[in-house]
Amino acid sequence: MLLHRRQMLAAGTAALFAPRIAFAKAATERRLVFVIQRGAADGLATLAPTGDPAYAALRGDLIPELLQQPRLGGLFALHPALKQVAGLYGAKQALFAHAIASPYRDRSHFDGQNVLETGGLLPYDRKDGWLNRLLALLPRETRGLAISATIPTALRGAVQVSSYASSNLPDASQDLLQRVTGMYAQDQQLHALWQEALQTRAMAGDLASGGARGAAAAGQLIASLMKGADGARVVMVETTGWDTHAGQKARLNNQLEGLDGLLAALRSNLGESWADTLVVVATEFGRTAAANGTGGTDHGTGSLAMLLGGTVAGRRILTDWPGLGQNQLYEGRDLRPTADLDALIGGAVAAHFGLDPLRVAPGLFPGSKGKPIEGLIRT
Amino acid sequence: MDKIATALNRFGLGGKLGESPPADPRGWLEAQFARFDPRPAAIAAQTGTPQLVTMLREARDDRRERKDEAKQDGTDPKAKVDGEPGPFRDLRDAYTSAVGARTDAALASDTPFVERLVHFWSNHFAVSVDKVAVIGLAGAFEFEAIRPHVLGRFSDMLNAVERHPAMLLYLDQAESVGPESPLAQRASRRGRERGLNENLAREILELHTLGVRTGYSQADVTEFARALTGWTVGGLAKQPLLRGPGPGFWFAAPIHQPGSRSIIGKRYGQAGEAQAQAVLDDLARHPATARHVATKLARHFAADDPPPALVARLEADFLRNGGDLKSLYRVLLASPECWQGAPKFRTPWDWTLAALRATGIKALPGRNAAGGFQQLGQAIWKPGSPAGYDDVAPSWAGPDALYRRVEVAQRIADRAAPAIDARTLAEALFPQSLSQSTREAITRAESGPQALALLLASPEMMRR
C-alpha cells in the first residue's frame, strides 16, 4: 500500500498511538538497531520509482532488470537483491520512506554523516549523537552497543556505551583498494607497484571477500549480543561501500545482498525478540537521479530510509513523491527531499520505546523542523 | 615540498595529531638539540646491560643443562632445548619490551629530528637479533651506546658502540683470542687451539668508520683484530679466569695478543686496551671516515644518490670540527639539498611511525610493535647483515610491501579516534604540498575512517 505522507497524517493517527510517559523500571524488552549506510546509498535503485515516467530514461541503462520487477503500490520496485526485505514487507514488517533527507543539503559524506548522527542542523553543531541522547531517556540498565572498533558519532555522548568489533562485518576493503588505485594513478612509481600487487593478490585469490556469508555471520553475531536480559538494547551497525560512482550495477547488488543477509540473520537469530525489534536503515544523502558516464551515480540529496522489525506498522511506502522530471529535481539533478528523516527516526524510535514523540523528538533531533511522524509503530 | 612539510616529514618523524606546525621550521629543528631527552621514562624503565648479560649467562647455562640432561636420558637434545618455556624466553621478552620502548619514544617524541638521528646511527652501527646472543641486548645497545652520544662526538659514540656487549657478541669479538696470548699458549700446551676472529675488526673498518674499498688491506684487518683481542664481555665465561670483574665490557689481558701492531701505515706500540683504543681514535678522525659518514648522512637526508656538493660540505665539517655531530646536523639544516628535490621513500619503520603519530597514537604494546614491523618487512634490530637496513627506495618500494601498508592503513584508520577529520589533518601534515589527487581521494571518501586510510596510504605519506 502506498501511503502519501499528507494523507496519512490526515487520517488521524492519534488513535493508533497511545503515549506512555512513565518510564519502565526494568530494562526494556524493546530493541533498536540503527544501520547506517555510509557512503550515500542509492535510494533510487534500492526502491526504484519505475512507475515514474522519467525513470527509465534516467536509469534504464544502469539497472534494466529493475524495470521488470513487480511494483509495490503502483510506483516502486524493490531491488531484486532484497529478497528477505521483500518478505518482511509482505509480512507487514517493513516500511519504506522515500524522497527523504536529513537537514543537510550539501554533498560531503563526512558532513552529511555528522548531521545524520548528531541530529544537529549543521555539521559539527553538536558533539553527542542522537542514539546516546535516546539512551539517556531509557531505563538506566539499557545497554548501548556499537558494532565497531570505536564508538561512532551517533552513539557518543554522556551515557556510557560499549563497542564490539567483528571481523565478519562486510568491510569496505574492496572499495578502499579501488580508491587507492585512483589515488595512485598519477604517481608513476606507486601506480606500477600497486598494479603489480593487485595482480598478484588476484591470482592468489586473497581478494575473495566474505560477501553475503560474512553479512549473515555479522547478523548472527549482533543478534547474539542483543539476546537475554542483559543483552544490548540500542545497537548501531555501520555498513560501508555505498559510494557507487562506477560499476554500480554489480557493486550495489553486492551491497544490498549483504544488507539483506544481515537483516535476515538478525531476524532469524533474534527469534521471539524480533517482535520487540525495530531496525532503522538510513544513509547520509542520496545519489543523482541520472546515471553518470562511468556506470554509476554521483552524490545527490533525497534518498530512502527503511524501518523494519516486529514493531513496525509495515507494508507501507511513505512518500510525498516529488517526481523525477527535469523541473522537479532538486537543483536540476537530485531527488527532491519531501520528507524529514529526523521526523521519521524521531517518531519511530520514540514510539518504539513508548515515549512521547512530541516531547522526545526535539531533544533527539534539535535540527529537525518537522513534527515527528506518528503511527509508524504498531501499538 | 614546503619547508614546514620538509621539517615535519623529512627531518622529523611526521607530524603529530593536534600539533601546531612550526612557524620557523629550521629553528624548530635546531632547538630540538637542547630539548632532546636521551633517557625518556619508557627507555629508562628497560633492563640494563649488566643484568641482561647475566640473563644471557643463565640462558646459556640452562641450555647446556638441558643438553646434558638429554644426553643422560638418551632423548633428543633439540626437543629438550626447544621445549617451552625456552631458555631464552626472558631475553626475548626484554627484546619485545625494548621494541615497545623505542616505538613509544618515537611516537611521543617532541624532538623527532634527534630521534630520527638515533635510528640513523643505530642502523649505521647495526647489530642484529638474528644472532640469539644479541636478542636481549639489542635494545640496551641503542639506549646506552647510541642515545647518549647522538648529539656528541662521533668518536665517543664509536667507543661506546665497540665496547658494548651486543656488538662484541654480534661480531664475535668476545670470542677472539690472541694466538700468542697467555691463555692461548696454555691452551696450546693442552692441545687446544684458541685464535683470532676478524669479524669486528673488519666491520669497524668497512662499515663503522672508513668504508669499503678505502685503501686498507687484509693485513690491516688482521693486525687490527690482533689489537682488539682482549676486548670481550665479562660475566659470561665458565672459566673463572675469563669471568672478569662483572657483567659488561671487560678488557681481558690473558687473551690479548702481546706486541706492537702496524695498521694502515702506522705503528701502535701501546699495551693492553689502549692499543685498539688508539686505533679507534685514529679511525674516528680519518678522512675516509669523514667521507663515509658524510655520504650516509647525505643519503638519508637528501637523496638516494647523495649530492656530491653536500657530501663535500659535510666531510669538510667533520674534519674541521673533529666529528662533532651537532655541527654536522647544522650543515644538513643549512643545505638546500635537504630542503629541495624529490622526497625519499619511507622505510616501513618511518611510514608506520608517521601513520601512528598522525592519528594520535602515543604508545603501542611491544608485542604488537615487534610483530607489526616484522610484517611490514623491517623487524627492529634485525637487519640481515651488519651493514644494517638499506637507505634507498628500491629496497622498500615493492608491490607486496605497498599492499601491506594499505592494509595496515585501513587497520589503523578503523581504530583511530572517530573525531579525526582526514581533510584538515592532511593539510596540517603536508602544508602547501598536498597533491590534488590525494585531496580529492580524501574528500570523496565515503566515510571518515576510509578518508583517514586513504590519507595514510597516500603518495605523500609514503615518502618523506
DSSP string for residues in B263-286: ETTEEE---THHHHHHHHHHHHT-
C-alpha distance from residue A263 to each of A257, A268, A308, B271, B386 (Å): 10, 9, 9, 83, 57
Owner of C-alpha cell 686505533: B279
CATH number of A2-171+209-364: 3.40.720
Strand pairing category for A31-37 and A234-239: parallel
- 3-state SS, residue A201: helix
Closest B-chain CA to A241: B446
Interatomic CA distance for residues B226 and B218, integer angstroms: 12
Say which residues have a Cβ less than 8 Å from residue B24's Cβ, sequence separation at least 6.
none
Residues 370-399 of chain B with CB under 8 A from chain A are: 393, 397-399
Q: What is the dihedral of CA B297, B142, B456, B361, to 10 degrees?
A: -140
Query: A368, A343 in Cβ contact below 8 A?
Result: yes
User: Which pLDDT does position A10 carry in this prediction?
Assistant: 31
pLDDT at A8 over 50: no
In this prediction, residue B459 carries a pLDDT of 97
More confident of the two residues A265 and A167: A265
Where are the alpha helices (H) located in chain A, listed in sequence order?
A: 5-10, 43-46, 55-59, 83-90, 109-118, 130-137, 173-184, 188-204, 211-226, 248-270, 341-352, 357-364
Residue of A nearest to B454 (CA): A180
Nearest to A193 among B397, B416, B454 (CB): B397
| Shortest CA gap A42–chain B (Å) | 13
C-alpha cell at A13: 493517527
Residue of higher predicted confidence among A201 and B26: B26
Q: Report the run of H or E that residue A234 belongs to, with start and end.
A: strand A234-239
How many cross-chain Cβ pairs, A to B, lie less than 8 Å apart?
99
**Residue pair B421/B408 in contact by the 8 Å Cβ criterion:** no
The alpha carbon of B302 is separated from its chain's Cα centroid by a whole number of angstroms, namely: 20
- Rounded CA gap, B425 and B439, in Å? 11
Give contacts of A156 with chain B, Cβ < 8 Å: 418
User: Which residue is closest to B457 within chain A, CA to CA?
Assistant: A180
Judge: A156–B457 Cβ closer than 8 Å, yes or no: no
Residues of chain B positioned with their CB less than 8 A from the CB of A149: 414-415
- The chain A residue lying nearest B397, using CA atoms, is A193
Task: Chain A: give the shortest CA distance to residue B408, in Å.
Answer: 11
β-bridge partners, A145:
A162, A235
pLDDT at A154 over 70: yes
- pLDDT reported for residue B291: 98
Give kind and range of the element (H or E) at residue B339. helix B336-339
Q: What is the pLDDT of residue A14?
A: 34
B410 touches chain A (CB under 8 A): yes
Asked if B418's CB is within 8 angstroms of A152's CB, the reply is yes
Could you tell me which residues come within 8 angstroms of residue B71 by beta carbon, excluding any fewer than 6 positions away? Answer: B77
**Predicted confidence band of residue A152 (pLDDT cuts 50, 70, 90):** confident
What's the CA gap between B164 and B122, in Å, rounded?
13
Determine, for residues A197 and B414 on separate chains, whether the beta-carbon distance falls below 8 Å.
no
Residue B321, pLDDT score: 97
Alpha carbon of B402: minimum distance to chain A alpha carbons (Å): 7
Cβ contacts (< 8 Å) between B445 and chain A: which residues?
109, 179, 243
Give the pLDDT confidence score for residue B215 in this predicted structure: 87
Residue A169 reports pLDDT greater than 50: no
Residues in A whose CB is inside 8 Å of some CB of B read: 38-40, 108-110, 113, 148-153, 156, 165, 172-173, 175-177, 179-180, 182-187, 189-190, 193-194, 196-198, 200-201, 238, 240-243, 245
Q: Measure the CA–CA gap between A244 and A175, rounded to whole angstroms.
A: 9
- Tell if the CB–CB gap between B399 and A200 is shorter than 8 Å: yes
Name the closest residue on chain B to residue A206, using Cα atoms: B403
Residue B443 and residue A108: Cβ atoms within 8 Å? yes
Read off the pLDDT band of A21 (50, 70, 90): very low
Amino acid at B65: E
Q: How much is the pLDDT for A1?
A: 30
**Cα–Cα nearest to B275, from B256, B291, B290, B292:** B256
Which helix (H) or strand (E) is B56 found in, with range? helix B49-73
Using CB atoms within 10 A of its CB, is residue A45 exposed (0-12), middle (13-18) or buried (19+)? Answer: buried
Helical residues (DSSP H) of B8-48, grouped into ranges: 25-35, 41-44
Contacts of A109 in chain B (CB under 8 A): 444-447
The domain ranges of chain A are 2-171+209-364
For chain B, the residue count is 464
Helices and strands per DSSP (H, E), number in chain B:
25, 4
Q: Is B403 within 8 Å of chain A by CB? A: yes
DSSP secondary structure letter of residue A334: B
Which of B415, B450, B458 is nearest residue A149 as measured by Cβ atoms? B415
Q: Which amino acid is at B10?
A: R
Q: Is A110–B414 a contact, with Cβ atoms under 8 angstroms apart?
A: no
Q: pLDDT below 50 — which residues of chain B?
A: none
Chain A closest-CA separation from residue B282 CA (Å): 44
Give how far Cα A297 sits from Cα of A39, A246, A258, B67, B204, Å: 12, 7, 20, 70, 63
A186, B437: Cβ pair inside 8 Å? yes
The pLDDT of residue A202 is 58
- Distance in Å, alpha carbon of B219 to nearest chain A alpha carbon: 45
A303-308/A277-283 β-pairing: antiparallel
Q: How far apart are CA B280 and CA B285, in angstroms?
A: 9
The verdict on a CB contact (< 8 Å) between A172 and B447 is yes
| CA dihedral sign, ordered B136, B142, B145, B147 | negative
Is the pLDDT at A23 greater than 60? The verdict is: no
Minimum distance, in Å, between the CA of residue A293 and any CA atom of chain B: 17
Q: How far, in Å, CA of A263 to CA of A270, rounded?
A: 10
Residue A212: is its pLDDT beyond 80? no
- Closest residue to B454, CB basis, from A179, A242, A243: A179
User: Is the separation of the CB atoms in A209 and A261 below 8 Å?
Assistant: no
Pairing between β-strand A71-72 and β-strand B261-263 as defined by DSSP bridges: unpaired
Query: Under an 8 A CB cutoff, do A193 and B414 touch?
Result: no
Residues of A in contact with B451 (CB under 8 A): 110
Residue A76: pLDDT band (50, 70, 90) is: very high
Q: Say which of A110, A185, A187 has its CB closest to residue B448.
A: A110
Q: Any chain A CB within 8 A of the CB of B406?
A: yes
**Beta-carbon count within 10 A of B23 CB:** 8
By percentage, how much of chain A surpasses pLDDT 90?
Answer: 58
- What residues of chain B lie within 8 A of the CB of A182, using their CB? 437, 441
Q: Give the closest of A151, A156, A196 to B399, CB-based.
A: A196
What's the pLDDT band for A26 if we cut at 50, 70, 90?
very low
- Tens-place pLDDT, residues A306-334: 999 999 999 999 999 999 999 999 999 99
Contact B401, B377 (CB under 8 A): yes
Q: Which residues contact B49 (CB under 8 A, 6 or more apart)?
A: B137, B140, B144, B164, B165, B247, B248
Q: Which chain B residues contact residue A196 at CB under 8 A?
A: 399
Query: A interface mutation test: which of B446, B452, B456 has the most A CBs within 10 A?
Result: B446
- Name which of B47, B17, B39 is nearest B115 in CA terms: B39
Contact: A156, B418; criterion CB under 8 Å: yes
Reply yes or no on whether the pLDDT at A280 is more than 50.
yes
* Cross-chain residue pair A149–B447, CB shorter than 8 Å: no
A180–B454: do the CB atoms touch at under 8 Å? Answer: yes
Arithmetic mean of pLDDT, A174-196: 89
B434 in contact with chain A, both atoms CB, cutoff 8 A: no
Whether B342 and chain A come into contact, CB under 8 Å, resolves to no
**B219 lies within 8 A of chain A by CB:** no
Would you tell me how many other CB atoms lie within 10 Å of the CB of residue A47? 27
Buried-state track B86-122, b at ≥16 Cβ within 10 A, e below 16: ebbebbbbbbbbbbbbbbbbbbbbebbbbbbbbbbbb
CB contact under 8 A, A183 and B457: yes
Beta strands in B216-348 (DSSP E): 231-234, 248-251, 261-263, 266-268
Interchain contact, A180 vs B406, CB within 8 Å: yes
* Count of C-beta atoms within a 10 Å radius of residue A27: 16
Distance from the Cα of residue B251 to its chain's centroid: 25
Which residue of chain A has the CA closest to B423?
A110
Cα four-point dihedral sign A290, A293, A296, A300: negative
Helix (H) or strand (E) holding A32: strand A31-37
Largest CA distance in chain B: 80
| Nearest chain B alpha carbon to A190 | B459
pLDDT tier at A208, thresholds 50, 70, 90: very low
Question: What is the DSSP code (8-state) at residue A142?
Answer: P
